[in-house]
Chain A
Amino acid sequence: MSTTTAPQTQAQSPANEKMTGARILWASLEREGVQTVFGYPGGAILPVYDALKHSAIRHILVRHEQGATHMADGFARASGKVGVAMATSGPGATNMVTGIATAMLDSSPVVCITGQVGSKFIGSDAFQEVDITGITLPITKHNYLVTKAEDIARTVREAFYIAQSGRPGPVLIDITKDAQQSSCVFDWEGAAPQLPGYRPDLSPSRQDYEKALELIRASKRPIILAGHGIILSGATQEVCKLVEHLDIPVAVTLLGLGGIPASHPLNLGMMGMHGEAWVNTAIQEADLLIALGMRFDDRVTGNLNTYAKNAKKIHVEIDPAEINKNVKVDVALVGDLREVLRELQPKLESTPKHPEWVQYIGQLKGDSAVRDIQNLPDSGHLYAAHVINDLWRETGGNAIVVTDVGQHQMWEAQYYRHNTPRSLITSGGLGTMGFALPAAIGAKVARPEAEVWVVVGDGGFQMTMPEMATIFQEKIKIHIAIINNGYLGMVRQWQEFFYSRNYAASPLVNPDFVKLAEACGIRGISVTQRAGVIPAIREAREHAGPVLIDFRVEQEDTVYPMVPAGADLKDMIRRPNPVVDTEMEW
């Protein structure tokens, strides 16, 4: 992973000069290439904030610490670099918990730094004391309590190394106030990581490769399951090469979208609960699954007892604990995906292609595409699918889209076609509502040249809405598309299907989002008709500052197809009575 060097600053003192722990922290972050920290000050982290003046690092003041962690997460997902969030002790630290768990479930390299009460007061229930290392044990890849200034530099080095190596994940560093205040010599070179037990670099055995090759050669109906690991490992080229060489169709997980181009002729699209019907059918009829950097999540497999029953399974995965966790596989290739594929590729020279299988899936696609994807009722009425499809067309598919969680997230996955890695940022594993707006701020800071769109529901938007003030203060130019249906849409959909349309606590009476945006210096636009979508998107793209568009879409629209939780992949609920819409491009 590449890191950029921060500008030389006063934080780097001459050798042997003593520095406070607080200054050592900033200097260490600079040495790790950090240019931006998302944070919120408070009593136990004040010495660190006091020392910020000695550093060239940009600090972005958030409005809630959950926002800081999502921003660091969005930064990491957009750039592949470590994102850094900072907060004070007690409530500052506990507010980070949701963001840390989000990063953990989606393997995002984030380092969170929290202040802690003085080491003498630990365990005394001091003001704003909370055991944040204890609280975050199960939701961090690793965490630290630092009580001495001497330990800060080495801890930062270890934390950054752990966060981004192997299967990435969040690391928390809790630093007591006295460790921030006391002084010692800053010796970066002498602070090399000491991690004898941390050996994430695994590689498959020769026998495992042989077994995998045998299965690939014998297969008549293989399918590749492409996951987030492709993006994390930077294996897009290797996967495409494999796919093209063997003529194997690819199904993609939600977090794998963009890992291989949506425009690739062998890319079938998303699998699973809201995956396209032909994708799930192809998986169920395959005789070999080649799973690349994915973890057979329950939203992907449906009923495990009937999942791809007649298929052999090869699992290429960096995390040994994922092997046989949900789905029993025949061969596991445990290691970095890109390296494994580079090893595998030359051994596949004489492997047969699968034209009949590919042709067969093509037929499935033609059949169900007409029913589920292309055809939406067109009464001039506004549907979320229209909005997202138009957004895709207007941005040429080149924007970074950051979504929240729910119906709009699934529509985004279905109707916005991602051709490049890191162009879709979404909370998959934890499914964290409120993720989109702050994560998009982080993504924009990581890639200021990119066009960033938030696609968010009216429910999730209101969970982290105060971060609009962060946009205002920090002059962040992003666009916000609220898919506003006046419901917690996915909750309503489940209530429609599984709870006799008892819409308990799912209708929303919303504030005026346009006025809220205007109050935060964000241009607000309201769209209620199909004809208004493209003009609004164009206005947003031409405007110099941030824009919020409140799309008032069909209230009781439903995401199709849908595999009910725990059902067989083939038992999809399909869109009823399609009406042909000629304007939908696909």
Chain B
Amino acid sequence: MLNTFVVYVEDKPGVLARVAILFRRRAFNIETLTVGRTDVPGVSRMTIVVDTDEQGALRIEANVYKLVNVLRIQNITGSNVTRDLALIKVAINADTHAQVQEIANKHGANIVETGPEAVILEFTSTKDKMDQFIAALRPYRILEMVCTGHVAMAGCSQASHSGALLIEEIKGGAQGIPRSV
């Protein structure tokens, strides 16, 4: 099953390589990986989605935790909010322009640029809706497309872990990951 991990890391050179090489070395296949900044300067946040079982997920958690530059790893599979962002450039002509516009409106996508022969659509959604949207656009010829992979966050019912709170916890001597079988 797909497991979603949130990983806070120190923003240092080579951190992405360390994480990526760990997954490769332990033979875990990354479905998607995104990385970006957080509310705290110097701390980056990754969302990593991996197809593995429960034991595999625990091993990933423990191995990533061991990386010196990793501040925290959390498995948020289940209760979380997950989104992909896509930019899609679709061919248009006088006949199809309005149709593409209508599909975008229907799915809730934004048209961010319009040219004489193409439009660029911006779409943020879950993976299922993304697939439906792409399927709807296919007949109009997709010229180019980029999709971010998942960014995810634990749901409102779960404990929040801002970068700032995390730094406080670490300074307070919080133990790393609990490890019960």
What is A's interface to B at a CB cutoff of 8 Å?
A: 133-134, 137-138, 141-142, 145, 162, 195-199, 201-203, 205, 207-208, 319-321, 323-325, 328-332, 334
Total cross-chain contacts (CB, 8 A): 74
Q: Chain B's interface: helix, strand, loop or mixed, by majority?
A: mixed
For B18, what are the chain A residues with a Cβ–Cβ distance below 8 Å?
Answer: 137
Q: Give min CB distance, B9 to chain A, whole Å.
A: 7
* Pair B9/A197 contact, Cβ less than 8 Å: yes
For B170, what are the chain A residues with a Cβ–Cβ distance below 8 Å?
Answer: 196-197, 199
Task: Name the one of A145, A196, A197, A324 contacting B181, with C-beta atoms under 8 angstroms.
Answer: A324
Task: Name the one of B10, B167, B181 contacting A331, with C-beta atoms under 8 angstroms.
Answer: B181
* Pair A319/B66 contact, Cβ less than 8 Å: yes
* Pair B59/A325 contact, Cβ less than 8 Å: yes
For A328, what are the chain B residues with a Cβ–Cβ distance below 8 Å?
Answer: 55
Chain B 149-181: CB-based contact to A (< 8 A → 1; otherwise 0): 000000000000000000100110011111111
**Complex formed: what's the CA distance from A404 to B176 in Å?**
38
Task: Name the one of B21, B59, B178 contacting A324, with C-beta atoms under 8 angstroms.
Answer: B59
For A202, what are the chain B residues with a Cβ–Cβ distance below 8 Å?
Answer: 175-177, 179
* Pair B69/A197 contact, Cβ less than 8 Å: yes
Given contacts A197-B69, A205-B180, could you give 13 more A-B pairs where the C-beta distance is less than 8 Å?
A134-B17, A162-B68, A196-B10, A196-B170, A197-B9, A197-B10, A203-B175, A321-B59, A323-B58, A323-B179, A323-B181, A324-B181, A328-B55
Is the CB of B115 closer than 8 A to any CB of chain A? no
**Complex formed: what's the CA distance from A580 to B131 in Å?**
76
For A142, what are the chain B residues with a Cβ–Cβ distance below 8 Å?
Answer: 68
Shortest 5 CB-CB contacts between residues of A and residues of B: A321-B62, A320-B62, A334-B179, A142-B68, A197-B71
Q: How many chain-B residues does the 8 Å CB contact rule pick out?
A: 33
**Complex formed: what's the CA distance from A62 to B167 in Å?**
45
**Complex formed: what's the CA distance from A331 to B176 in Å?**
19
For B178, what are the chain A residues with a Cβ–Cβ distance below 8 Å?
Answer: 205
For B22, what are the chain A residues with a Cβ–Cβ distance below 8 Å?
Answer: 138
* Pair B9/A332 contact, Cβ less than 8 Å: no
Considering only residues 12-28 of chain B, those with a C-beta below 8 Å from chain A are 13-14, 17-18, 21-22, 25
Task: Name the one of B68, B167, B175, B176 contacting A195, with C-beta atoms under 8 angstroms.
Answer: B68
* Pair A321/B63 contact, Cβ less than 8 Å: yes
**Complex formed: what's the CA distance from A320 to B63 in Å?**
8
Could you jot down 23 A-B contacts, CB within 8 Å?
A137-B14, A137-B21, A162-B68, A196-B10, A197-B67, A197-B69, A197-B71, A197-B72, A197-B170, A199-B174, A199-B176, A201-B175, A202-B177, A203-B175, A319-B62, A319-B66, A320-B62, A320-B177, A321-B63, A324-B55, A324-B59, A330-B181, A332-B181
